[in-house]
Amino acid sequence: MIVGSQKPIDEIWDMIKDFKKVLVFGCNTCVAICHAGGEKEAETIASLLRMRATEEGIDIQIDHAGIMRHCEPEFFEPVMDHVRSYDLVLSTACGVGVNLLSENIGNISVYPAVNTEFFGAVPAAGEFTELCAGCGHCILHLTGGICPVARCAKGLLNGPCGGTNNGSCEIGPDVSCAWVDIHDRLKQLNRLDLMKEAIEAKDWSKAQGPRKIKVKSMEEAKK
């Protein structure tokens, strides 16, 4: 999932205070799971902004709403007439949602209420950990399902480096060394032979944007 964190309310206020009619627009998928941008969070942000407007004596209408996802037109198109009635849409989605809304909304600004952080998992309630860097060329079959690009502080494709210390990374004792983890996982799988394989330098052109994928079967179905 895409993990995000809510921007400080002072930063958000500075973005929206010069508008007259603002919609805080929640996204009820990834950012809702990490408690940053679902409809519930959108309601809270709207309330805090209304309080701020009252404190500063600024006349501004601030409402909130939410849909399942901002990154797919089928979810936002049914409500776009309502959304377009505002001067500004403050999206609590990830950067993908902000981009797509901006492309489809017309001459209305869409601003972010959330900082998009990383692709992550939820190992425990309220805990989010980066596990994938979306590099465009997955090598997890060689590394026991553990991504060195995202989980090694240096992004080493062949490791570990000289900075590993009793299973921890040199950047801090609370950071696990990805390559020690890879070794231990491959040992568990009886595939330590994979540690001897040199992983070639990654073709980073695959990670250069903007990237696009089209599903051929769906393209053919449109014809």
pLDDT tens column, 16-56: 999 999 999 999 999 999 999 999 999 999 999 999 999 99
| CA distance to 57, 195, 217, 220, per residue, from 223 (Å) | 56, 47, 10, 5
pLDDT tens column, 123-169: 888 899 999 998 888 999 999 999 999 999 999 999 899 999 999 99
**21 lies in the same domain as 114:** yes
Q: How confident is the model at residue 218 (pLDDT cuts 50, 70, 90)?
A: low
CATH number at residue 67: 3.40.50
Q: If you average pLDDT over residues 191-204, what whole number do you get?
A: 91
**107 lies in the same domain as 138:** no
CB 86 within 8 Å of CB 21: yes
**15 lies in the same domain as 111:** yes
- Domain membership flag for residue 219: no
- Domain membership flag for residue 48: yes
- pLDDT given for residue 186 in this prediction: 95
- pLDDT given for residue 93 in this prediction: 96
- pLDDT given for residue 103 in this prediction: 94
Domain that holds residue 183: 134-207
pLDDT tens column, 180-196: 999 999 999 999 999 99
CB 135 within 8 Å of CB 115: no
- pLDDT given for residue 220 in this prediction: 65
pTM of the model: 0.84
Mean pLDDT across the chain, nearest whole number?
93
Regarding predicted confidence, which is higher, 203 or 41? 41
Q: Which candidate, 4, 49, 52, places its Cα nearest to that of 22?
A: 49
Give the bridge partners for 109, in sequence order.
88
